[in-house]
Chains A and B, each alone.
Chain A
Amino acid sequence: MTLERTSIDTAREWSSGGETARLAVMLVIAALLQTTVAPNIRILGANPDFALIIIVCVALMKGSEIGAVFGFLTGVMVAIALMEPFGLSAFVFVVVGYFAGRYAETADLSAGFAPLLTTFAATLVANILFAMAQFLLERQVPMGFFLGRVLIPSLIINTLLAAPLYLVVRLGLRGAGDLRAARAR
Chain B
Amino acid sequence: MNRRRVLRRRIVVAILLLLSVAMLTLYFRESDSGIARGVQSVVLRVVAPLQNGTARATKPFRDAWNWAGDLFSAKSENNELRKEVEQLRVGVANELTTQAENDELRAMVKLRDDKIFPKGVRLVTGRVVARSTTAWYSTATINVGSRTGVEVYDAVVNGAGLVGRVTSVTANAAQVTLITDQQSYVDGMVMPGGAQGILSGSVTGDVTLQYVDKNERIKVGQLVVTSGRKGSIFVRGIPVGVVESVGLQEVELYQSIAVGPWVDFRKLDLVQVVVR
**How distant is B232 from chain A, measured CB to nearest CB, in Å?**
24
Interface size of B by Cβ–Cβ distance < 8 Å?
Answer: 55
Name the one of B36, B174, B266 contacting A86, with C-beta atoms under 8 angstroms.
B36
B44 & A130 in contact (Cβ 8 Å cutoff): no
**Cβ of A83 and Cβ of B139 under 8 Å apart?**
yes
Tell me whether chain A's interface is mostly helix, strand or loop, or mixed.
helix
Q: Do B139 and A91 touch across chains, with their CB atoms under 8 A apart?
A: no
Pick from B51-59, B223-231, B240-248 the stretch touching chain A. Answer: B51-59
Query: Within 8 Å CB of B13, what residues of A?
Result: 64-65, 68, 94, 98
Task: Please provide the chain B residues from 26 to 67 with a CB less than 8 Å away from any CB of chain A in the complex.
Answer: 26-28, 36, 39-40, 43-44, 47, 50-51, 54-55, 58, 62, 65-66
Q: In the complex, are the beta carbons of A83 and B173 less than 8 A apart?
A: yes
Q: Which of A15-23, A38-46, A108-116, A176-184 contacts B (4 or more CB under 8 A)?
A: A38-46
Q: Which residue of B lies closest to A9 (CB)?
A: B5
Cβ of B133 and Cβ of A72 under 8 Å apart? no
Give residues 64-88 of A contacting B (CB, 8 Å): 64-65, 68-69, 72, 75-77, 79-88
Chain A min CB distance to B65 (Å): 6
Q: Which residues of A lie under 8 Å from residue B168 when comparing CB positions?
A: 83
Complex Cα–Cα for A140 and B194 (A): 30
Shortest distance between the CB of A182 and any CB in chain B (Å): 14
Q: Does B105 contact A (CB under 8 A)?
A: no
* Residues from chain A with Cβ under 8 Å of B204 in the complex: 142, 145, 149
A7 within 8 A of B: no
- B: residues with CB less than 8 A from A are 2, 5, 8-9, 12-13, 16-17, 19-28, 36, 39-40, 43-44, 47, 50-51, 54-55, 58, 62, 65-66, 69, 129-137, 139, 141, 168, 170, 173-175, 182-183, 202-204, 266
Asked if B51 and A90 make an inter-chain contact with CB atoms under 8 angstroms apart, the answer reads no
Measured CA separation A75–B27 after assembly (Å): 14
Most buried by A among B17, B135, B136, B183: B135
Contacts of B8 in A (CB 8 A): 65
A-B contact pairs, 13 of them (CB 8 A): A9-B5, A36-B58, A48-B133, A65-B9, A72-B16, A80-B39, A83-B168, A83-B173, A87-B19, A87-B21, A134-B136, A139-B182, A149-B204
How distant is the Cα of A81 from the Cα of B41 in the complex, in angstroms?
A: 10
Select one of B23, B44, B170 contacting A87, CB under 8 A: B23
Q: Tell me if A87 and B27 are in contact (CB < 8 A).
A: yes
Query: Which residues of the partner chain B approach A38 to less than 8 Å between Cβ atoms?
Result: 133
Question: Which residues of chain A come closer than 8 Å to B28, judged between CB atoms?
Answer: 85
